[in-house]
Structure 1
Amino acid sequence: MRPPSARHRRLAVALFAAALLPAVSPGPAAWADSPAVPGADFTDGFGLSQVADGTEVRSGTDFTITVTTPEVAGPHRIRIFLPSGYADDPDRRWPVTYFLHGGGGNVDDAAAAPALHSDAMITVVPDGGLKSWYADWYMQNTAEGAADWETFHLEQVVPYIDANLRTLPDREHRAVTGLSMGGSGALHYAQARPDLFGHASSLSGGIDFSMATVRATVLATELDLPGAWCALSTPSSQGCPTYGPSVDSDAIFGSPYPVLGADHRWNAYDPAAPANLSKLKNTQVTLYTGNQGLIDGQTAMAAHTVKNRLDQLGIPSRLVDYGNGASLSPQCDGSHTYKCWGPAYADYVPRLEAAFEAAAKN
């Protein structure tokens, strides 16, 4: 009897391996044109290189890729939620929402707000670090290494997503939203790049950098002083991580002290500064906050300051101060937690979807 050929040996191995794998339904015919592993066919570019073994697949519409970039030290994950119909219609393009997580959090926090996994849009959750504050840091030689987070997100992640997914790549179909630290990042990104984002929302955001409590929070993250902010801005199931290695108190925005203009970088970033708010004149702005507890008592003050200044500038906006949470959801107590942010996104996302749909008709 002749020994099996190399071709037959390869076939036998393939059949044996297939027998060990669980059966998977093939899904819609259109899925045949998509990669077996979502994100596997992404093409490097815009300074981003995908880590070959860094893809996590939860389903065909929920997966995470890992990338590296010279702008920010270390590998970084990007979680992506696709609409359930994404694979069914290969000619359709979709709006995109960028979700910015809070301090001490990570890209998996988005799962605590199920409304973000929408059938009407793509949601992209880029790693924002434990204390990035969504800024290009003043100091680049700290224990964190390179930390140009704003450049990473706005000049690399956004065009990378547009190049690799079927997006509608215009501001009317692109939103940025975030909570806590990510809430300030969302307003700042919309102000820094009004050409990119037509919609911005902040939930319980540290959005007024003139407030001593907000500046103190930034300093606490720089010095890795875990406290209430960390414990409450991360889903309870994930516990309270530290803010990473301690860095200089001037690392992100330079000196925080308003003496002889030493705090000019804080003021330039400040999402509540009238000069920055004026850049939102063509942006749909939504603010959510409770007013209970140590933290949301402060974010409520910041949100009302921003709302009043937008009103003075004649810029339409929507503020939802849900107070003790009773008007929002039975599970919300008005505090700085996903018990409130989850319902807040359940209120916000349908409104955002309607705005995207209206823009598509124009």
Structure 2
Amino acid sequence: MTSLRLATLGAALAITALTGAGAAHAAAPAVPSAVPVPVPVSGPVSSPSPSPSPSPSIPVFSNGYGLTLVPGDTEVHSPTDFTLTVTTKQLSGKHRIRILLPTAYGTDPARRWPVTYFLHGGSGNVNDVEAAPALHSDSMITVVPDGGLKGWYADWLMQNTAEGAANWETFHLTQVVPFIDANLRTRGDRAHRAVVGLSMGGFGSLHYAEARPDLFGHVAALLGGIDFGMWQVPAAVLGTELNVTGAWCASSSSGSGQCTGFGPVVDSDAVFGSPYPVFDADRVWKAVDPAAPDNLAKLAGTGVTLYTGDNDLIDVHTAAASNTVKARLDQLGIPSRYVNYGNGASLAPSCDGGHNYGCWAPAFADYVPRLEAAFAAAR
């Protein structure tokens, strides 16, 4: 069906959308005192010499792997917190990559660091990481790539919508990851690389860990749309494609004060094709479903963590999806850690069990030390 035919259905179903809220306003981590030094670049690059650094206090980056830096469009928030702007043929327009370095990155030039990729939720952006201070760790590099307002961490089936080129998965996995490894002192093996995400990004993190187990040895999905067998998850995707902003605002408990919407309306089949199980029309949905046993089986040897609450209109569904994924992982004999904090009382005073950074931030505060320990144990 076209987006016009599905508009009424999308509006009705998007009340249960599982996408994340826009950037929440929370206190940013304290500015570290260390000043990084320029970093020599390894690996193939598209230019013979590094691009000039916008500031002497942050590493020098070079174009490469299909990414071109936009000169003069780097934001330096602090010496260990900065945002690059890049272009790529895989996506229309300019896109940002926020990078958080450990305090000692510049003072310990012989050391290489694990890397965690944080995938934000729908209608969010790279600045959402400010609301989760635990992700600015002194034990790892955190990279926050743009995921689009409704990119769904996928190479879209339709490339001729109002969004234009939309190969988000290719951008992240074949461009951003090697670009970071080439430009920063990283530990490049899977045991020292993690992918974590919330809401729409929870789908993205689990999907990416399944799609590229060679890249990621650790994955965490927070309140994610991770079971495409539930009608509520395709409904969420349709809601973002059709930009049913009003329904999302009505159901959101984020408290962020923002409702920016999901960008221009696109065809309801734009991302994954038709969701209807008729003549195999839903084949793309089946292929990328994180809860499919064949996909979950790819997580053998990966550290898997799931978090969810169950106390609002959205998270009763993320809890059901997480329950399914946990049960199937158990059936496959794949160890995992599952935290359902219910109404939030067991997690933090700020958490009401809903779909918001009042819960996501303390969930990351619980998870990051465990991830740091896993990185250290993998030496």
TM-score normalised by the chain length of structure 1: 0.89
Say whether the 8 Å CA contact 1:103–1:230 is kept in structure 2: no
Whether 2:302 is the aligned partner of 1:263: answer: no
What is the CA deviation profile of residues 60-92 of structure 1, one whole-angstrom value per residue up to 9, with x for unaligned ones? 001000000000111000000000110000110
Aligned residue for 1:220, secondary structure, equals helix
In structure 1, C-alpha distance between the alignment counterparts of 2:221 and 2:334, rounded to whole Å: 16
Superposed, which structure 2 residues align to 1:1-362 within 5 Å?
31=36, 36-37=55-56, 41-227=60-246, 229=248, 236-237=255-256, 239-360=258-379
Q: What is the CA-CA distance between 1:183 and the residue it aligns to?
A: 0.1
**Which residue does the alignment assign to 2:13?**
none
**Which residue does the alignment assign to 1:16?**
none
Q: Normalized per residue, which structure has more helix?
A: 1
Q: What is the CA-CA distance between 1:260 and the residue it aligns to?
A: 2.0
In structure 1, C-alpha distance between the alignment counterparts of 2:253 and 2:129, rounded to whole Å: 10
From the superposition, tell whether residues 232 and 94 of structure 1 become closer, same or farther in structure 2 (CA, over 3 Å).
farther
From the superposition, tell whether residues 215 and 42 of structure 1 become closer, same or farther in structure 2 (CA, over 3 Å).
same
Q: What is the CA-CA distance between 1:41 and the residue it aligns to?
A: 1.6
What is the CA deviation profile of residues 196-221 of structure 1, one whole-angstrom value per residue up to 9, with x for unaligned ones? 00000000000001111110000010
C-alpha RMSD of the superposition = 1.7
Say whether the 8 Å CA contact 2:37–2:56 is kept in structure 1: no
In structure 2, C-alpha distance between the alignment counterparts of 1:145 and 1:38, rounded to whole Å: 36
Q: What is the CA-CA distance between 1:95 and the residue it aligns to?
A: 0.2
**Which residue does the alignment assign to 1:12?**
none
What is the CA deviation profile of residues 43-63 of structure 1, one whole-angstrom value per residue up to 9, with x for unaligned ones? 000000000121000100010
What is the CA deviation profile of residues 293-319 of structure 1, one whole-angstrom value per residue up to 9, with x for unaligned ones? 100000000000000000000000010
**Which residue does the alignment assign to 1:7?**
none
Say whether the 8 Å CA contact 2:37–2:58 is kept in structure 1: no
Higher relative contact order (CA 8 A, sep 6+): 2
Say whether the 8 Å CA contact 2:251–2:313 is kept in structure 1: no
Asked which structure has the greater CA Rg, the reply is 1
**Which residue does the alignment assign to 1:23?**
none
What is the CA deviation profile of residues 139-171 of structure 1, one whole-angstrom value per residue up to 9, with x for unaligned ones? 000000000000000000000000000000010
Q: Which moved more, 1:38-47 or 1:66-75?
A: 38-47
From the superposition, tell whether residues 238 and 173 of structure 1 become closer, same or farther in structure 2 (CA, over 3 Å).
farther
Residue identity in the other structure for 2:336: S
Say whether the 8 Å CA contact 2:199–2:222 is kept in structure 1: yes
Say whether the 8 Å CA contact 1:31–1:88 is kept in structure 2: yes
Say whether the 8 Å CA contact 1:38–1:63 is kept in structure 2: no
Say whether the 8 Å CA contact 1:231–1:239 is kept in structure 2: no
Aligned residue for 2:204, secondary structure, equals helix
From the superposition, tell whether residues 351 and 44 of structure 1 become closer, same or farther in structure 2 (CA, over 3 Å).
same
In structure 1, C-alpha distance between the alignment counterparts of 2:304 and 2:249, rounded to whole Å: 26
In structure 1, C-alpha distance between the alignment counterparts of 2:37 and 2:117, rounded to whole Å: 28
In structure 1, C-alpha distance between the alignment counterparts of 2:348 and 2:38, rounded to whole Å: 42
Aligned residue for 1:77, secondary structure, equals strand
Q: What is the CA-CA distance between 1:39 and the residue it aligns to?
A: 5.0
Say whether the 8 Å CA contact 1:170–1:196 is kept in structure 2: yes
In the alignment, structure 2 segments of 5+ residues that lack a partner are 1-32, 40-52
